[in-house]
Amino acid sequence: MWDDSIQESLTDTYVGPTVQSKDTTLTTEVPAGTTEKDEDQVMLLQEKVESIQKQLEEEKELHEKEKEYHVQAVKEYEERIASLTEQLEKVTGDLKHKTEQYEELRSELQSEIQKIKNESETFQKQRKALILENKRLKSLIKDHNVPVEQKEETEILQETQTVHTCTYISKG
């Protein structure tokens, strides 16, 4: 099983492969007096080194491609984020503008509603005052025994509204 023969030191007779750069091929010098077995071992080692270098080169290329892919993906995501941010700012600005318009219209409508309520209250007060005045005049006429044609309440209201409309138009 074990070879009992004495092995000579290979350092005196063997010069290993030298690697100068990633692009250069390995050169081996086989000194005179080396055996065929030693040459075969050197060739196997040289093939192993070349295989490892080839694998490293392939892995490096793969790593570069992956790196390029990741850089491109990051760039695309950054562009997408910038686009979405721009859209968000535009929508936010539009929303703010629409909100301001809404608040302005709401305020105008509330003012208009309040104005109409105030006018309605004024007309109601004037109506009541005219009804009271009409009653007072009727009672005065009745006290003086003068025959008076009684008007319907709706006719009085129509006259009152006509007076108010004329007053409102003249003030406006």
Has residue 3 been placed in a domain?
Answer: no
Q: What is the pTM of this model?
A: 0.41
CB neighbour list of residue 22: distance below 8 Å, 6 or more residues apart:
53, 57
Has residue 10 been placed in a domain?
Answer: no
SS3 151: coil
The rounded distance, in Å, linking the Cα atoms of 98 and 162 is 41
Hey, what are 128's tokens? 């009541």
Has residue 100 been placed in a domain?
Answer: yes
Query: What domain count does the chain have?
Result: 1
User: Which has more pLDDT, 152 or 69?
Assistant: 69
Q: What pLDDT does residue 151 have?
A: 56
Has residue 8 been placed in a domain?
Answer: no
Has residue 135 been placed in a domain?
Answer: yes
Has residue 70 been placed in a domain?
Answer: yes
Give the range of the structural domain holding residue 57, as residue numbers without chain letter. 15-171
Cβ neighbours of 69 (radius 10 Å): 10
Has residue 2 been placed in a domain?
Answer: no
Q: What pLDDT does residue 167 have?
A: 58
Has residue 93 been placed in a domain?
Answer: yes
Convert the pLDDT of each residue in 140-163 to its tens digit: 888 886 454 555 666 666 776 666
Convert the pLDDT of each residue in 100-135 to its tens digit: 999 999 999 999 999 999 999 999 999 999 999 999
Q: Is the pLDDT of residue 8 over 50?
A: no
Convert the pLDDT of each residue in 20-67 to its tens digit: 455 555 555 656 666 788 888 999 999 999 999 999 999 999 999 999
Handedness of CA 34, 40, 46, 52 (dihedral sign): negative
Q: What pLDDT does residue 10 have?
A: 46
Q: Is the pLDDT of residue 137 over 70?
A: yes
Hey, what are 47's tokens? 């093939």
